[in-house]
Amino acid sequence: MIYWLQAQGNLHITLAGTSWQLEFLARYFPALAFEIRPGYNVRYAEKGSRLKWSLLQQFPKITRSMRSEHQWLLYFSEKHSLHGIISDNCYGLWHPHIPNVILTHQLQIKSGMGPAADQALLLAHYRILQRFNAVWVVDNEANGLAGRLSHPKKLPEHCTYLGPVSQFYNHPSPSGQVATGPLLVLLSGPEPQRSLLSDILWQQVSEWSQPVQFVEGRKGIFRVAGRPGLQHFDQLQDAALWQALSKASLVICRSGYSSIMDLVYLNKKAFLIPTPGQTEQEYLARLYSESGIFPYSGQEEFSLGKALASVKNFPFRAAAPRQAFSGFEQVLEQWVAGL
């Protein structure tokens, strides 16, 4: 979406985010303006029943972060005379006088504590979404990738389905041939769960004999491969990541929605490991498994041998056509024209 906005040529674009987000985005958009804004800094517990409670305990901190984020926006917008704001799941970035939209795929938040809690979260979530002029749902209106998360029984009145998006939209299409490259381990997500999964997977791929590309997903972490055919990278970006994904015979990764959209766009086979306690990822992993799209396993019981055996007979059904990923262009074009 940033690429599309930049291509219009007549827009002055500022990217706002935390320091590590901007460090990442600067590699793709070095010519754009950047502003550091407050972050939420959500952290997940290590194991057991503390996982869901750790998130509940952080709600007051998240609420304070949203207020701080909103105050930052009011100051920044007055200083720079903004004409429009697009917020990617940042709930404090609404403005009472400037056209503003929020991107989300998760209208219905899964609490993991039953239907009553889910309904209470839905009502609370919709009250927050009402602060924005529009809600752009990053999914198809029919046959969506996010299931009930993006298709609750009742929608916000100012809701528009944007279609799925992928960071590889501007890259060449895969060849269409069956990929026969190495196994690709692609790590992401919050700590400490990212590091815990990294240790589990590194030990298991180190004892395996086939080629593996292992992407740590965090800058500055390096592991020494103890066997031939095992490559370790702290991070891969843009063309290097696209190439690794395109060649991979199988991808092992989290069931985060952005990762899912990239996998679907590139038509890749993958095995998913949801972040423990992150109910959205747990729901999506079950949904894709039941739909025959991707198999999955819990983190603690993951076994590389069992995972590789399960993919042999898994159907890997197509989840969305490639043309569905261009829907955002029309929505963006109409929004920009109205500014």
Mean pLDDT of the chain: 90
Go through the domains of the chain in sequence order and give each one's CATH number.
37-164+324-337 (no CATH), 183-319 (3.40.50.2000)
Output the pLDDT for position 64.
85
Q: Is the pLDDT of residue 176 over 70?
A: no
pLDDT in tens, 257-280: 999 999 999 999 999 999 998 889
User: pTM for the full model?
Assistant: 0.91
Tens digits of residue pLDDT in 57-72: 666 777 888 899 999 9
What average pLDDT score do residues 211-235 get?
A: 92
Instruction: Kindly report the three-state secondary structure assignment for every residue of the chain.
Output: CHHHHHHCCCCCCEEEECHHHHHHHHCCCCCCEEEECCCCCCCCCCCCCHHHHHHHHCHHHHHHHHHHHHHHHHHHHHHHCCCCEEEECCCCCCCCCCCEEEEECCCCCCCCCCHHHHHHHHHHHHHHHCCCCEEEECCCCCCCCCHHHCCCCCCCCCEEECCCCCCCCCCCCCCCCCCCCCEEEECCCCCCHHHHHHHHHHHHHHCCCCCEEEECCCCCCCCCCCCCCEEEECCCCHHHHHHHHHHCCEEEECCCHHHHHHHHHHCCCEEECCCCCCHHHHHHHHHHHHCCCCCECCCCCCCHHHHHHHHCCCCCCCCCCHHHHHHHHHHHHHHHHCC
Residues 12-55 have pLDDT tens digits of 999 999 998 898 899 889 999 999 987 766 665 555 444 555 55
